[in-house]
A and B are shown apart, each in its own frame.
Chain A
Amino acid sequence: ILNVEQSPQSLHVQEGDSTNFTCSFPSSNFYALHWYRWETAKSPEALFVMTLNGDEKKKGRISATLNTKEGYSYLYIKGSQPEDSATYLCASPGNTPLVFGKGTRLSVIA
């Protein structure tokens, strides 16, 4: 079974701080890397789907990079706001359509 690892498990930052977290995955047979944001009491929502080595995607203050050769992706949040508080999940196709990491739980303190 494909192993997708995320770190850290949780993170507390002050409003206005920038932060980043990591997703690592096996670099062999890579197909795609997904990032989702899951806010409390809501459904997970896709942030990015990345497929190419060196890919960099951006949505507002959130961006992600992808290194398929070494098997990692970073998610960056610039100037964190309380509404960024959520669990951030990454996932990659393996033997099943998507294998999810356990997530990074971000709390932004006002």
Chain B
Amino acid sequence: DVKVTQSSRYLVKRTGEKVFLECVQDMDHENMFWYRQDPGLGLRLIYFSYDVKMKEKGDIPEGYSVSREKKERFSLILESASTNQTSMYLCASSNRDRDYEQYFGPGTRLTVT
């Protein structure tokens, strides 16, 4: 079974803090993704990566950065957390082609106060 794990299920941070969300997959997938999910807005893509050290902006990259130093690990970084970044964050991975399904982690519910 594919397993995608995320470092925390729940996280509370203060405005201005630097926040790291970690994601690890164990199926040697090339592609990894970070989404956020907000009520009424659905899943929106923040950043994705097709390979180690590669990153591409998604639909809403502002205020975020990412790091992929190893194939199995994809980190999402909030350089200076703000209250509008309070959300559910989901990591996913997949094989290279676009007709391969994505496998999702359990999500991190981040609250920024």
Contact = CB atoms under 8 A, between A and B. Distances in A.
B95 to A, nearest CB: 11
Contacts of B100: 49
B28 interface: no
A50 B103 CA distance: 16
A98 B90 CA distance: 14
B42 A103 contact: yes
Interface stretch (A19-27, A57-65, A75-83, A89-97): A89-97
Interface of A: 1, 31-32, 34, 36, 42-46, 49, 51, 89, 91, 93, 96-103
Given A1-B59, A89-B43, A97 B31 contact: yes
B90 A44 contact: yes
Rank and list the top 5 A-B pairs by shortest CB-CB distance, nearest first. Answer: A46-B101, A102-B42, A43-B104, A32-B99, A100-B43
Interface size class of B (residues with CB under 8 A): 20 to 34
Contact of A98 (B56, B102, B106): B102
A41 to B, nearest CB: 9
Interface of B: 4, 31, 33, 35, 40-45, 48, 56, 58-59, 90, 94, 98-107
Contacts of A1: 59
A96 to B, nearest CB: 5
A98 B94 CA distance: 11
A97 B33 contact: yes
Contacts of A96: 45, 48, 56, 58-59
The CB with the most chain B CB atoms within 10 A, among A32, A44, A46, is that of A44
A49 B97 CA distance: 12
B26 to A, nearest CB: 14
Given A32-B99, A96-B48, A44 B42 contact: no
